[in-house]
């Protein structure tokens, strides 16, 4: 692998970000931080079957890192990985077959923009032509069916079977000529504080604007986040503030948020030292929703790495529930759909061990002229189907607005 010359980087820069998004096999953008990564072509793509998950992807990344010769390169290559939410899920939507249970991708060329600074690195590889994606099958759960699943989950929680479960729904929306590059540009503009990502397989593109980091590592420093508990945004500053105060004062939302914090501390405790947790959550405000937010920091323990953290933490109670085994069982029984990579881990790692993974939220799967949108809500003992369905629809509306604009 070889760093790209300034002239070559300038050639790609002149193509523009829309061109880079259009031709990329994978993208990773943090607009508020000035970070934009475009992975073009494929040097290495490794995929696993639907019955495997992130544990298998972790092994593939580890093996690939050991085989890379990066000693002489100033620009480090980034290895991207994504995985399904639950490899043991009973439902199988053919739309997800091209992604499999997990994939690891090393781009042939990676272009990185950090503020005004552009750089790039090349690996041996090719630039395959896009393939046709399978037609999107029917099978969305309607509002009434999802309401019934939520009501049943509340009954099971009150019976003591588990404490929380996250149930999700999906909706289809026509693209009407809108391309993945268009959607990515709109997501970056609408949600600059989120991680805007895309991952292409065959003729399908999985993309989103995730507000929820799963784990990040930079020079041994670990960043984790609890993001659970939500309210919609208000139509006026006064109403928005009222909703914020209601969120901060809600025992239900505070309990749900604390459950995620405690799970992160329990799961990460053996891998991270010097964990620091603020005593109270703050509020993260996005374009259409606001969440209770607690950042958690520390240092990697000797022998631990980013991939260890991701494997240990996924799925957090924020996207699965608690206790984890009982919540996953409830999702498999009640949700009635194939989540695929929705709410699964997606991110990158470099040979130094630095990297970032997020939870695949606020997402859509684009193929064959249509988008399949996904969103969920956390169900606890005092949840009501009406309120939780409204939360799911609010999250879906954010994506609908971007696609249909």
Q: Is the dihedral of CA 204, 114, 361, 105 positive or negative?
A: positive
Q: Is 164 a catalytic residue?
A: yes
Closest listed residue to residue 191, CA positions, set 401, 404, 383: 401
CB 108 within 8 A of CB 125: yes
pLDDT at 141: 55
pLDDT at 135: 42
pLDDT at 74: 60
Task: Report d(CA 170, CA 327) in Å as an integer.
Answer: 19
Task: Report d(CA 228, CA 377) in Å as an integer.
Answer: 10
Residues of the chain with pLDDT under 50: 126-139
Q: Is 395 a catalytic residue?
A: no
pLDDT at 286: 84
pLDDT at 70: 66
Task: Report d(CA 19, CA 181) in Å as an integer.
Answer: 8
Residue 325 sits at φ, ψ, to 5 deg, of -60, -45
The three-state secondary structure class of 86 is: coil
Give the pLDDT confidence of 238-259 residue by residue, as tens digits: 999 999 999 999 998 998 899 9
- Of 17, 29, 52, 164, the catalytic one is 164
pLDDT at 145: 87
CA–chain centroid gap for 195, Å, is: 8
pLDDT at 168: 95
Give the pLDDT confidence of 24-80 residue by residue, as tens digits: 999 999 999 999 999 999 999 999 999 999 999 999 999 998 888 666 556 688 999
pLDDT at 328: 97
Q: How far is CA 300 from CA 117, 222, 358, in A?
A: 29, 6, 18
- Of 29, 52, 212, 253, the catalytic one is 212
């Amino acid at each position: 692998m070889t760093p790209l010359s300034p002239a070559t980087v300038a050639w790609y820069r002149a193509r523009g970000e829309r061109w880079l998004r259009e031709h990329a096999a994978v993208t990773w953008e943090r607009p508020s931080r000035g970070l934009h990564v475009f992975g073009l072509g494929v040097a290495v793509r490794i995929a696993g079957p639907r019955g495997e998950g992130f544990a298998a992807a972790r092994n593939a990344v580890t093996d690939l890192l050991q085989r890379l010769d990066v000693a002489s390169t100033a620009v480090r290559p980034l290895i991207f990985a994504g995985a399904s939410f639950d490899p043991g899920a009973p439902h199988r939507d053919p739309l997800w077959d091209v992604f499999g249970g997990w994939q690891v991708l090393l781009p042939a060329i990676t272009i990185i923009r950090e503020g005004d600074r552009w750089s790039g690195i090349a690996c041996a590889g090719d630039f395959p032509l896009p393939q046709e994606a399978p037609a999107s099958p029917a099978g969305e759960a309607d509002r009434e069916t999802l309401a019934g699943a939520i009501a049943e989950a509340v009954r099971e929680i009150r019976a003591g079977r588990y404490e929380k479960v996250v149930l999700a729904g999906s909706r289809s929306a026509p693209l009407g000529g809108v391309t993945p590059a268009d959607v990515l540009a709109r997501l970056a503009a609408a949600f600059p504080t989120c991680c805007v990502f895309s991952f292409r397989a065959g003729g399908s593109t999985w993309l989103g604007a995730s507000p929820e980091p799963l784990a990040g590592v930079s020079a041994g420093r670990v960043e984790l986040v609890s993001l659970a508990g939500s309210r919609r945004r208000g139509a006026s500053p006064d109403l928005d503030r009222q909703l914020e105060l209601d969120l901060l004062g809600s025992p239900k939302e505070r309990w749900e948020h604390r459950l995620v914090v405690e799970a992160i501390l329990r799961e990460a405790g053996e891998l991270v030292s010097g964990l620091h947790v603020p005593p109270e959550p703050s509020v993260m405000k996005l374009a259409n929703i606001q969440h209770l937010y607690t950042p958690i920091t520390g240092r990697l323990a000797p022998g631990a790495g980013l991939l260890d953290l991701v494997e240990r933490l996924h799925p957090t109670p924020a996207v699965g529930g608690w206790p984890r085994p009982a919540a996953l069982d409830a999702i498999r029984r009640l949700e009635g759909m194939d989540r695929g990579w929705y709410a699964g881990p997606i991110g990158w790692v470099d040979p130094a061990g630095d990297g970032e993974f997020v939870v695949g939220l606020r997402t859509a799967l684009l193929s064959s002229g249509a988008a399949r949108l996904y969103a969920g809500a956390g169900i606890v003992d005092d949840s009501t189907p009406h309120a939780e369905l409204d939360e799911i629809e609010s999250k879906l509306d954010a994506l609908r607005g971007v696609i249909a604009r």
